Structure 1
């Protein structure tokens, strides 16, 4: 599913109007009707319910007036409160304002005088609030009086449905610079808006419904940017079939080079995750002085000892043992728990450019390339790098703060500069391909911020590549799969006590859910789709 900024959505709306002859009023009507369907679901019917709708002067307010009309016709008691004077409402919104008034319905102005008291009075017996104040064009800080209204709405204890995007949230960045609606539900029209899935915007969006407003599919395919929200539907299409006559060799062979003294868990987690993600055969190669430990920790995963420096970290001589191992492998993952010993750094820098099978670089493999990131541009095989913000900062020579302020831009830059698929970890993981395509992952939760979670992700991505997925799809599907497993684990155990092993244990259930009806669920967010 494409994901857009507010300006990109406006361009698509404009093209639908100018190039396809779909009037703005039709789009507004479709949007309002879809929002009504959500409200009916939230309230389990609207007849006899009291619904208070807050509108602004633009198209968002026009959507709110369409919602008001249909709810009234369905038997709800509807109160419309405006943050602007009637004369400020224009365009298609003004048409719907006139319809509402011709139905002998009032619009209460709350932007002057005792407006706050009117708001408080209106909310006293309200069952649900509809936020149609500001749309996707909002930037910066709002008018102080409107901010006070929003504070009252947020503190009312009433469920809030936001129209297209919570008022006060920037659609392109997810930035919140002042008072902002904290919605329980957001119904967003046409395509999901980027700001709903970037922090801190995601915290304000609640449950998200993407509503079809009848934009021509050919228009979206042609004009929308190559930026995607990863969905269950996508992942289901990408995952390879598992035919009845298949054997373990059909599902790929994974080699993982990982581990050091004190970091055997990282190697173990990556190996188990690869196996639990569907790979047929998984081998974990570790420094020989910790090999016996790995033999005890792992049963289904095979292990191989590699030359080390006597202190539990790999030596440069390990390369001669690794190269023959690769002859029968479909993918190599390297990095989890390797340590940053000088010999490990030299080994990674020498080994990576010589690999000729798909490669996943994580953790200490990325740390080894800090200051020498140009090596990534010399790789002979397709590669996925999976840095967290700190590792990305070291690779790019930038402060971590700068990485976090433009996660998408930095991921895109890295992918294009080094010609590698770049997965930037964090809340709403970003996957960028060298061709400019970007994928945003909606699954996952704060409980997954625990040691070893990234090692699990490495194993999953390597497993999916071994099963035949292209690296960019393996990274995107892997992020979704990893987050979904974390969400299922958190649902059972809570977030505070969640550990990486719980994510691995939930991988089969996540795979089973992906094989069933397509519904993307995370601890904080549910993404529905109306059509």
Structure 2
């Protein structure tokens, strides 16, 4: 998914956006004028994206979303385009502004076709005006069949406000949802357009405020905030020329049980490339030689029991616990020692699995980085329940365990006492082994350099995702591996050209 709105900005839910609709009307904008503005904005986006299109298929449901579609149909007819107008609901049953919109299409000389299973969608572009922002729950027939038919067509689709079937609140789908090429959403950006299933349904995203100014949102608490790449500029200020390695923290990575050394090595290298002054690795002795070959800068030590890491724990400013830790007694013993040390920590992989099985106190100085399966174990629910409302799951994890929580996946979420942040970057090429280990190393390095758990989580997720995108841009998504990210992490964490620092 791409978006024209990369500047950081708030994300709202369906109820909040509907309240903003009413606010605009209370300030003097008539409901039909608002509908016309929405339709004009969506139509302009269509003409900009597909200027060669001469035939449109517009699918209208009921309510104001259908009204947007009928106004778009009138606009297209006025421009001389051929319009196939398909209704899922008898236009005679519409009321209010939607009825006025249908009247506008009728006066433009357009006939409405009632949807039937044998209806052939033949537009160069298809407009989804079936369901609006407030739609929730399972998509029922005949809408389900319509959406399945629409998704089967090779023609591009413009979704009006929301892809039908996708929740504006959560980003989950009601069994089926329109797979749009372009979504034009209105009034304000919606949380559900940026996480969960949205990645496969939104396409390019454009936000049209229709006259709602930012100050009009001031009294509403958004569901979250969308990140932007330039947020990293303040996270990585230029270093003093008199700096030494002790100024940038000491990360201790604890992991790499027998046969699982790669995860801990990747986390260690990522911590180095993210600017940590020193990185130590406590791992199974069998992996020390590989660490020296791969990254001689990492101070690798083979450990056999918890007592072997006490001195390392005393030296560390931040811990990364879990990559390749394993589920054997060795890993459990090291996990217990790490938690008892009281050092700011990143918990990932098997450290989270141990955490799900043993009661511990909430802590404010750690970052938990679960994928949906690990999150499910931590909360004692199913993975499907996590994905059905990722925001609620991330907040529940923060409530139970404290600190900052990174719920990984498409539209990664960061939840802490400051609220919820959504990362819009990253790509499918990052769905490969070791990416989470690299993320944990990045976040651990930022913790060691003095960032708070919330800052380290937000900046670390953003840095990781941007590095993945840069790597994919250079070499493609397919075949992208976790170790590809290290050099890109370094480049992105140094946004100022070297010559400018001389």
**TM-score interval, normalised by the smaller of the two chains:** 0.7 to 0.9
Which secondary structure does the structure 2 equivalent of 1:387 belong to? coil
Distance change >3 Å, CA 395–CA 182, structure 1 → 2? closer
Which secondary structure does the structure 2 equivalent of 1:260 belong to? coil
Q: CA-to-partner distance for each residue in 1:269-324, whole Å, 9 max, x for gaps?
A: 112222333x152312224734343222203x331536x22xxxxx2213431243
Matched, 1:101 2:84: no
Matched, 1:30 2:12: no
- Contact 1:260/1:286 (<8 A) preserved: no
Whole-angstrom distance in 1 between the partners of 2:186 and 2:192: 14
Which secondary structure does the structure 1 equivalent of 2:464 belong to? helix
Distance change >3 Å, CA 194–CA 454, structure 1 → 2? same
Whole-angstrom distance in 2 between the partners of 1:319 and 1:22: 67
Matched, 1:165 2:162: yes
Whole-angstrom distance in 1 between the partners of 2:139 and 2:283: 58
In the other structure, the counterpart of 1:316 is: 306
Which secondary structure does the structure 2 equivalent of 1:109 belong to? strand
Q: TM-score, normalised by structure 2?
A: 0.85
Counterpart among 405, 429, 451 of residue 422 in structure 1: 405
Whole-angstrom distance in 2 between the partners of 1:178 and 1:382: 39
CA RMSD across the alignment: 3.1
Counterpart among 456, 463, 474 of residue 474 in structure 1: 456
In the other structure, the counterpart of 1:127 is: 124
Matched, 1:362 2:369: no
Whole-angstrom distance in 1 between the partners of 2:33 and 2:245: 54
Whole-angstrom distance in 1 between the partners of 2:242 and 2:214: 37
In the other structure, the counterpart of 1:334 is: 321
In the other structure, the counterpart of 2:480 is: 498
Q: CA-to-partner distance for each residue in 1:457-478, whole Å, 9 max, x for gaps?
A: 1112223334554322332332
- Contact 1:316/1:344 (<8 A) preserved: no
Matched, 1:60 2:57: no
Report how far residue 203 of structure 1 moved. 1.6
Q: CA-to-partner distance for each residue in 1:305-359, whole Å, 9 max, x for gaps?
A: 36x22xxxxx221343124313xx3x33222223334244234324324325x32
In the other structure, the counterpart of 1:82 is: 87
Report how far residue 191 of structure 1 moved. 2.9
Whole-angstrom distance in 2 between the partners of 1:398 and 1:134: 30
Distance change >3 Å, CA 218–CA 373, structure 1 → 2? farther
In the other structure, the counterpart of 2:301 is: 305
Report how far residue 483 of structure 1 moved. 2.7
Q: CA-to-partner distance for each residue in 1:33-56, whole Å, 9 max, x for gaps?
A: 32123212211366xx22232222
Counterpart among 430, 442, 448 of residue 424 in structure 2: 442
The 10-residue stretch of structure 1 (247-256 or 402-411) with the greater mean CA deviation from structure 2: 247-256
Whole-angstrom distance in 1 between the partners of 2:463 and 2:349: 20
Counterpart among 406, 409, 415 of residue 432 in structure 1: 415
Matched, 1:138 2:135: yes
In the other structure, the counterpart of 1:346 is: 333
Whole-angstrom distance in 1 between the partners of 2:399 and 2:198: 27
Whole-angstrom distance in 2 between the partners of 1:336 and 1:143: 44
Matched, 1:452 2:452: no
In the other structure, the counterpart of 1:411 is: 394
Report how far residue 162 of structure 1 moved. 0.7
Q: TM-score, normalised by structure 1?
A: 0.81
Distance change >3 Å, CA 155–CA 413, structure 1 → 2? closer
Which secondary structure does the structure 2 equivalent of 1:130 belong to? strand
Report how far residue 409 of structure 1 moved. 1.9
Report how far residue 74 of structure 1 moved. 4.6
Whole-angstrom distance in 1 between the partners of 2:29 and 2:59: 27
Report how far residue 163 of structure 1 moved. 0.5
Report how far residue 382 of structure 1 moved. 1.9
- Contact 2:170/2:388 (<8 A) preserved: no
Report how far residue 130 of structure 1 moved. 1.2
Report how far residue 245 of structure 1 moved. 4.6
In the other structure, the counterpart of 2:179 is: 182
In the other structure, the counterpart of 1:239 is: 235
Where structure 2 has 5 or more consecutive residues not aligned to the other structure, the ranges are 1-8, 498-502
Report how far residue 433 of structure 1 moved. 0.7
In the other structure, the counterpart of 1:372 is: 358
- Contact 1:268/1:294 (<8 A) preserved: yes
In the other structure, the counterpart of 1:528 is: none
